Amino acid sequence: MLASGFRALNSDPRCTEADLRANMESTGRAVAHRLERYLNALATIASAAPLLGLLGTVIGMIEIFGSQTPTSGGAVGGNPAQLAHGISVALYNTAFGLIVAIPALIFWRYFRARVDEYLLTLELAAERFARHLNNLRRA
């Protein structure tokens, strides 16, 4: 981004401070976009994974209770061990969704903070650089 300020000044030594800043800001927006390009995908994974796990749990529970057929006396039959096993398999879906979502959320927050830190550093450096270049031109 700072190099774009040099290029703008080199191509037109009489460019105004506003033009110099605009050139550096547009380059900064492009840099910010490149830094943030995969963060949305990571955030989507972090937010969708528990929902997909919950969906798997609900579908599993529907299948478990749907497979319990009534006996001749009208009572619900089936093996309680089979029912417990089916419930545990359905709950594994939620656990796997959380296993994916929790690290994805942690990494998203970490990278989001890093990108914000980089952009703040870049913005402050560009501001100082633009002031410095303008002071050099005046001297």
Confidence of residue 78 (pLDDT cuts 50, 70, 90): low
Mean pLDDT of the chain, nearest integer: 86
The H-assigned helical ranges of the chain are 2-11, 17-36, 39-67, 80-138
What are the structure tokens assigned to 22, written together? 């605009």
Total-model pTM: 0.75
* Residues 104/42, Cβ–Cβ less than 8 Å: yes
> What is the average pLDDT across 70-92?
72
Q: What number is the average pLDDT over the span 88-114?
A: 93
Q: What is the mean pLDDT of residues 80-103?
A: 87
- Specify the pLDDT at position 70: 63
- Could you read off the pLDDT of 12-69 as tens digits, one per residue? 888 888 888 889 999 999 999 999 999 999 999 999 999 999 998 888 888 887 777 6
